[in-house]
Amino acid sequence: MEAFLLLLTAFLFLIWTGLLGIAIAGIIFRERQRQYTSFYKKILVIVPCKGIDLTLQKNLLAIKKEEHGNVGVVAVVDKKNDESISAIREAGLDFIVSSKHYKDCSGKVAAICTAIERFREYSAYVIIDSDVECSRDHVKSLVAPLSDSKIGISTAYPYFNPTGGFWSHLKMAWGFVGNGMMESKTTRFGWGGSIAFRKELIGKKEFALLSKAISDDMALVHIAKKKGLGIAYVDKGKIRVNVKEDRKSFFEWSTRQTALSILGNRRLLYMGIMLYSAQALLLVFGISLAVATSPYYLILLLPFAINVFKAFKRARGKFKWLLPISLIINFIFLWNLAKASSMKSICWRGRIYPLKNPF
């Protein structure tokens, strides 16, 4: 029994060393925000709309405030009688109807392609989802990195602002993983809810590729990387998505996001399984061994404590459910990965899309 405990302890401390290194590296090697010169060319903000989001009117009014000088804004609806049209009109935004020509992509990608095809006079395009609430001058901050020719796309990532109970707070905490990934060049991705790119990124060949994609951000990241261009992360925009979730809507959203992520990069599945299994294992055994044998085993919870500290810093005062969520969230991630890895299709805003990587 003592030999087994010794081997188990050695194994756990090996995992502990790796997770502690990851947690500390995330603090030490966090990329500092660069200062870019302003991007003064003509910019079009494209807002794909379908149905009614939680704070749609408020979100559209915030985007409308960005419309000035060299910045234009157009909403794109799925059909002429879409539920969002009344809110679009009340916000004073122009809108167009998505072209039926784009049949091999998602509804959102069809809306983006329709706008790009119709408004070719702009030098850069910004995509902002209708569920995103922007702070003032968000577009200005987002497009600034495009002044650097080595940058292919510029992106932001939201704070999921919980307006409901447990499941809304769980979505907030779930999103913190995205914040952490954005802070490092090696794990950074494009988030389609707020993303910008220059007109030159999308040539005829690239436009054809985009027009067949399920995920706009996955396609844009693929195009940028293929051209050897970087991804800039702008966190000054301070955007947020107001959320009110129940159990069903949370798991639909989280598994869909996971499925799209591993569709774009299959390595994320295996990396996620290893990381979240290790974190769950350390948490369970750290508590169990501390209770059953010695309180010294609480040292195993140090990586967990660092991650909880980061979460509290990002939570903007929404602490009510954060600690219990932190205890179970690794198991939620593992469930998402297991479910997503076997999915053949996703449901997105009422439509079913097969999960096929076109790249």
Q: Say whether both 271 and 146 belong to one domain.
A: no
Same domain, 148 and 293: no
Q: Is the confidence at residue 349, as pLDDT, over 90?
A: no
- If we measure between CA atoms, which residue out of 188, 175, 238 comes closest to residue 30? 188
pLDDT of residue 136: 83
What band does 273 get if pLDDT is binned at 50, 70 and 90? Answer: very high
pTM for the complete prediction? 0.93
175 in a structural domain: no
Q: Which of 31-40, 90-99, 279-288 has the least mean pLDDT?
A: 31-40
State the pLDDT confidence band at 265, using cuts at 50, 70 and 90: confident
Q: From CA 260, how far away is CA 138, in angstroms rounded? A: 26
Residue 184 lies in a domain: no
* CATH classification at residue 214: 3.90.550.10
Is there a single domain that holds both residue 53 and residue 7? no
Report whether 217 contacts 195 (CB < 8 A): yes
143/288 same-domain check: no
Per-residue model confidence (pLDDT) at position 25: 76
* Total domains in the fold of the chain: 2
207 with 81, same domain: the answer is: yes
Task: Based on the fold, state whether residues 118 and 215 are members of the same structural domain.
Answer: yes
What proportion of the chain, given as a percentage, has pLDDT over 90? 79
64-106 pLDDT, tens per residue?
998 888 999 999 999 999 999 999 999 999 999 999 889 889 9
Residue 24 lies in a domain: yes
Q: Is the pLDDT of residue 337 over 90?
A: yes
- Please indicate whether residue 265 or residue 247 has the higher confidence score (pLDDT): 247
pLDDT band per the 50, 70, 90 thresholds, residue 238: confident
Q: Is residue 173 part of a domain?
A: no
Q: Are residues 125 and 96 in the same domain?
A: yes
Q: What is the mean pLDDT of residues 158-186?
A: 93
Instruction: Kindly report the number of other CB atoms within 10 A of residue 99's CB atom.
Output: 16
Mean pLDDT of 241-245: 96
d(CA 315, CA 69): 35
- Same domain for 88 and 57, yes or no, is yes
Do 140 and 288 lie in one domain? The reply is: no
Which alpha helices (H) appear in 265-348, and where do they start and end? 267-292, 302-314, 322-341
Query: Is 89 found in the same domain as 195?
Result: yes
Q: Model confidence at 55, in pLDDT bands (50, 70, 90)?
A: very high
Q: How confident is the model at residue 237 (pLDDT cuts 50, 70, 90)?
A: low
Could you tell me if 221 and 190 are in contact, meaning their C-beta atoms sit under 8 angstroms apart?
yes
Spatial distance between the Cα atoms of 286 and 279, rounded to a whole number of angstroms: 10
Q: Read off the pLDDT of residues 316-332 as tens digits, 9 standing for 90 and up.
A: 999 989 999 999 999 99
φ/ψ of 44, rounded to 5, equals -115, 125
Residue showing tokens 């706009």: 216
Residue 15: the pLDDT is 94
105 occurs within a structural domain? yes
The answer to whether residues 130 and 237 belong to one domain is yes
The answer on 207 and 348 residing in a single domain is no
CA distance 111 to 338: 31
In three-state secondary structure terms, 225 is helix
Tell me if 169 is assigned to some domain.
no
Average pLDDT of the chain to the nearest whole number = 92
Residue 199 lies in a domain: yes
Residue 312 has pLDDT above 70, yes or no: yes
Is residue 302 situated within a structural domain?
Answer: yes
Q: How far apart are CA 324 and CA 336, in angstroms?
A: 18
The domain containing residue 197 runs over which residues?
43-156+191-245
